[in-house]
Amino acid sequence: MAVNHGPATKSYRGWLLAGASALLLSVLLLEAGAPWLGVPLLVVALYCGRRWQQGQHARLEPGDLTLSLSPDPGALQGDVAGCLQSDNPILREGQLYFRLRCIRVQERYRGQVIEHRKQVCWQGSQPAFIDPESPGEEVRLYFQFSPPAGLAPTENKPELRETVWQHYHYWELTLSGVVASLPLSPQHFRPRVSPGEARAGHPLPEAYQVQAASKEAPDAEMPQALWQRLALVETDDGLSLQDGPPPRGAAAAWALAGAGVWWLFTSLWLAAPVLLWALWLAGRNGQVLLRPGHVMVIRQWFGRGIYARNAPLTEMAQLQLAPRLLPPLFSGGEPRYRLRLLAQGKQVLLMRDLRSQQEGEQLCRYLRVALQLT
């Protein structure tokens, strides 16, 4: 797995560096008593920060996609297969993945509000097969799934009732991945699946065949307390985890108070580094987005993204749990653990503040199933 640092990522890093430099110069000029130079530089820093912030959420839109199934509808005891057609030739250069899920939905009226509950009954993922013989600029992305027997077919949505839960099943096909160093905006489709034993009309090459024994969707093996602390959510795009700030709240509060007192009795030159360090400790955290074939780690400060790392995800990737050395003031005397994702000599830091080895091992087991790692 190679971390993507393409032209788009580097351009937005340039905005970040320019904004940080302008901010530093503006603070120095304001402290030196030159507001006619410091204020314009501060405006430039805000503009650069805005452009950089926009780049953190940039996504590539694939354009119009047309889904065709073969067989149509998909067969529960056979294949759910077909292709997506697009007129955007840039998709040929991407690392794209399909995910197919069977989802059980419960709905009911409660006053004027409709309540929803979703449960993933089964899911499978595979890399998209890009047809090399697609004519002209047309791109054809093929998929072929063989879901296990016993799953529910596509069902019509029942009429909702007051306070009574009504349930139904539907199937969802999602296309995601990375193209030209940008994450592809996930595209969702609802193929119709019915009982039957029909097979794909145009089987894929053997190298792209889906394994017969598809792995089951992950279930909540972790304790509820850990599940809630990590804010683990199964979204339509995959999994989302929150790597909360380390337990440095008391140290950050003392540093803020000390920086304020220092500012009163000395100057901004001496207090600013302490103040910035304290604010950094108080507000930093991280968000991890895991999707079939793609992982994104977003480092945040008070809920705002600072930078993001995108990486394609393969089945050969490995999870590595390692202790993190922290001073007793920050760790409370107990060792903390980091969780990294390793593949092809590259590494991406997923979680940096797991509280125990047991907690890390529980999270590793869950992610191995959720990401279908070998």
261: confidence class by pLDDT, cuts 50, 70, 90: low
Is the C-alpha dihedral spanning 331, 336, 338, 339 positive or negative? negative
Rounded CA separation 251/259 (Å): 12
Q: Which residue has the tokens 């901004």?
A: 268
User: Judging by DSSP bridges, how do beta strands 182-183 and 166-179 pair with one another?
Assistant: antiparallel
CB 25 within 8 A of CB 41: yes
226-232-235 Cα angle (round to 5): 165
Asked if 350 contacts 288 with a C-beta cutoff of 8 angstroms, the reply is yes
Pick 314 or 351 by higher pLDDT: 351
The predicted structure's pLDDT at residue 331: 45
Per-residue DSSP letter, 89 = G
Rg (Cα) of the chain, in Å, rounded?
A: 25
Asked if 124 contacts 174 with a C-beta cutoff of 8 angstroms, the reply is no
Between 284 and 222, name the one with better pLDDT: 284
Q: Give the C-alpha separation, 298 to 56, whole Å.
A: 9
The b-or-e profile of 285-298 (16+ CB within 10 A means b, else e) is bbbbbbbbbbbbbb
Which of 62-71, 254-263, 325-334 is most confident?
62-71
* Closest by Cα among 232, 276, 272 to 252: 276
193-194/74-75 β-pairing: parallel
* Number of C-beta neighbours around residue 328 at 10 A: 8
Q: What is the pLDDT of residues 41-91, one digit of tens each?
A: 888 888 887 776 666 555 667 778 888 888 888 888 888 888 888 888 888
Nearest by Cα to 2 from 368, 288, 345, 360: 345
| Among 82, 79, 100, 81, CA closest to 199 | 79
Please tell me the predicted confidence (pLDDT) of residue 205. Answer: 61
**Of 338, 346, 331, 217, the residue nearest 286 (C-alpha):** 338
pLDDT tier for residue 267 given thresholds of 50, 70 and 90: low
Higher pLDDT, 269 or 319: 319
3-class DSSP assignment, residue 163: coil
What architecture is domain 65-205? Sandwich (2.60)
Q: What is the pLDDT of residue 344?
A: 61
Lowest average pLDDT, out of 40-54, 60-74, 125-139, 275-289, goes to 275-289
Sorted by where each begins, the domain ranges of the chain are: 1-58, 65-205, 218-374
Report pLDDT digits (tens) over 153-192: 999 988 887 778 889 999 999 888 777 666 777 888 999 9
% pLDDT > 90, the chain: 4
As separate numbers, helices (DSSP H) first and strands (DSSP E) second, the chain gives: 7, 19
Quote the pLDDT of residue 116. 78
Q: From CA 240, how far away is CA 289, in angstroms rounded?
A: 5
Q: How far apart are the C-alpha atoms of 202 and 234, rounded to whole Å?
A: 33
Are 186 and 65 a contacting pair, CB within 8 Å?
A: no
More confident residue, 144 or 163: 144
Q: Considering the chain, what is the average pLDDT of its residues?
A: 72
> What are the φ/ψ torsions at residue 199 (nearest 5 degrees)?
-110, 170
pTM over 0.75: no
- Per-residue pLDDT band at 150 (split at 50, 70, 90): confident
**Please, how many CA atoms are within 13 Å of residue 120, restricted to the half-sphere of its CB?**
22
- Worst-scoring range by mean pLDDT, 123-132, 162-171, 218-227? 218-227
Q: What is the DSSP secondary-structure string of 90-105? A: GGGGSEEEEEEEEEEE
The rounded distance, in Å, linking the Cα atoms of 103 and 116 is: 12
Over residues 26-40, the mean pLDDT reads: 78
Task: Give the range with max mean pLDDT: 103-117, 227-241, 267-281.
Answer: 103-117
Q: What is the pLDDT of residues 223-243, one digit of tens each?
A: 656 766 676 766 656 677 777
14-23, 187-196, 326-335: which has the highest mean pLDDT? 187-196
Output the six-digit token pair for 212: 């017969």
Q: Give the mean pLDDT of 327-338.
A: 57
Checking if the pLDDT of 255 tops 50, the result is yes
